[in-house]
Amino acid sequence: MSINITVPEVGESIVDARVAKWLKKEGDAVAAGEALVELETDKIDVEVAAPQAGVLKTIAHGDGADVKIGEVLGTMETTGTKGTTGTTGAEGVSPAEARSAKAETKETSGSERERAETPKTEEKKVATTASATAATPSARRAARENSVPLANVQSAGPRVTRADVDRASTRTESVAKTEKTAPKTENRGPRTQDPGPRTSGRSEERVRMSKRRSTIARRLVEAQQTAALLTTFNEVDMSAVMTLREKHKEAFKAKYGVGLGIASFFVKAAVVALGEFPRINAEIQGDEMVLKHYYDIGVAVGAAEGLVVPVIRDADTLSLADIETAIRDFAKRANDGSLTLDDLKGGTFSITNGGVYGSLMSTPIVNPPQVGILGLHAIKERPAAVSGQVVLRPMMYVALTYDHRIVDGAEAVQFLVRVKDLVETPAALFLLA
């Protein structure tokens, strides 16, 4: 019986995908539930599995093709139905058996057959080993890009993750570099020939953007073209937060199993400030403003395929430990490719921390349909006036980019000042949050 392999529905906001890699070839036997093909979407990567055991018959869209949800990727013949066209012949012989019998009756010598079949046997063996290795889609793609055999990658979990492949790739590169730079001992003797002209090394490489990177590019342009974006700045004295962290970091880690960072303070401060300035926690729908009285805070996380913004739901109900745990979990799963669509859906306001990369100041772009995003930056010691004295303090520039269509400049400035005051006085933050 012939059945279609289609692009599955992975979320209401995702309408297309890209074929990243077929894991099987036409004619390959597959087991029920075995992964057939990897798909890239603008948010997550997914594997399409065989619904039943059988043979992959045709591939309609090859690697790199863009496809729509519901579109046919290929067809397969299920096993166990004799006499069905394409599954078995009139004699009840499967196509695989017929091909095997035909190959056996060819008038070729034993040595020629051996030479012809050995590469195919080795190729099939390698393919079987790779497909048998449980790995995330992003791990498989990273392994292909870095020429790292999945079977050689060690993983502490049930599946190989992208982080595991990256570690294996780093080790491979380190060994290769050592071999390349090792001194050579042979005696070359006097050079008698002209080595010829040197190459300039001005090479170029053309790399197609991933589905996610392409979507990020499109949405950033849309945000700037459709919204009236403006950014306001302030600076925060981080002394109180730094002192609090230093004093309680060991006890906090021992009790909750996670370190105390600075992002959780800003999430709590943002929630309080959003309650006081609700239009920054809203979106525009037609000629209406949708004011949201809940606080789902998106936290930008850097990943190999591009920036993602997983969402901390109901952040107003969470403790610092809950927020820190959520952020670290998001960061880990962003790197190993295991974030789900539900992790990325929605969000009423976002926070991005360019300071982890050393950024001193930037103008973040809002994540539509949201109308505000808070940008954090590197903490640097700078001279500050305190009680008539000039002292060095750990200072951070903060930025709020907002949609001027519904957020007035005065609101934006006051919102950022409120965040500043709350972070500089953590006791007030805990009393109000």
- Bridge-based pairing of strands 297-299 and 349-353 is parallel
Burial track 361-390 (b if 16+ CB lie within 10 A, e otherwise): bbebbbbebbbbbbbbbbbeeeeeeeeeee
| Strand residue runs (E) in 51-154 | 54-59, 66-68, 72-78
pLDDT on residue 133: 61
Tell me, what's the pLDDT at 129? 45
Q: 66, 248, 293, 404: which one is catalytic? A: 404
CA dihedral 373, 374, 378, 381 (to 10 degrees): 150
Give the pLDDT confidence score for residue 140 in this predicted structure.
74
- In Å, what is the CA distance from 85 to each residue of 50, 60, 78, 203, 273? 20, 19, 11, 52, 67
| pLDDT computed for residue 349 by the predictor | 98
Catalytic position from the list 296, 343, 408, 421: 408
Q: Say what the pLDDT of residue 178 is.
A: 53
What pLDDT, on a 0 to 100 scale, did the predictor assign at position 191?
Answer: 52
Predicted confidence at residue 214, as pLDDT, reads 81
pLDDT one digit per residue (tens) for the chain, 433 residues: 888 888 888 765 677 888 888 998 898 898 888 888 988 887 677 888 888 889 998 998 888 888 888 889 999 988 754 433 333 333 334 444 444 444 444 444 444 444 444 444 444 444 444 445 667 766 777 777 777 787 777 776 656 777 777 777 766 655 555 555 555 544 444 555 555 555 567 889 888 887 778 877 888 888 888 899 999 999 999 999 999 999 999 999 999 999 999 999 999 999 999 999 999 999 999 999 999 999 999 999 987 777 889 999 999 999 999 999 999 999 998 888 788 888 988 899 999 999 999 999 999 999 999 999 999 999 999 999 988 999 999 999 999 999 999 999 999 999 999 999 999 999 888 777 6
Q: Within 10 A of 218 (CB to CB), how many other CB atoms are there?
A: 11
Q: How many residues can be counted in the chain?
A: 433
408 catalytically annotated: yes
Fold match, 1-104 / 132-174: no
pLDDT of residue 97: 43
CATH topology of domain 132-174: Dihydrolipoamide Transferase (4.10.320)
- Asked whether the beta carbons of 377 and 358 are under 8 A apart, the reply is no
- What is d(CA 114, CA 122) in angstroms, rounded to the nearest whole number? 12
- Alpha helices, H only, 148-231: 162-181, 211-226
Per the structure block, which two tokens stand in for 194? Answer: 């002209």
Class in CATH terms, 229-432: alpha beta
CATH of domain 1-104: 2.40.50.100
3 state DSSP class of 397:
strand
pLDDT (0 to 100) of residue 143? 76
Domain boundaries along the sequence of the chain: 1-104, 132-174, 229-432
Instruction: For residue 237, indicate whether it is catalytic.
Output: no
pLDDT for position 356: 92
Contact predicate 308/344, CB 8 Å = yes
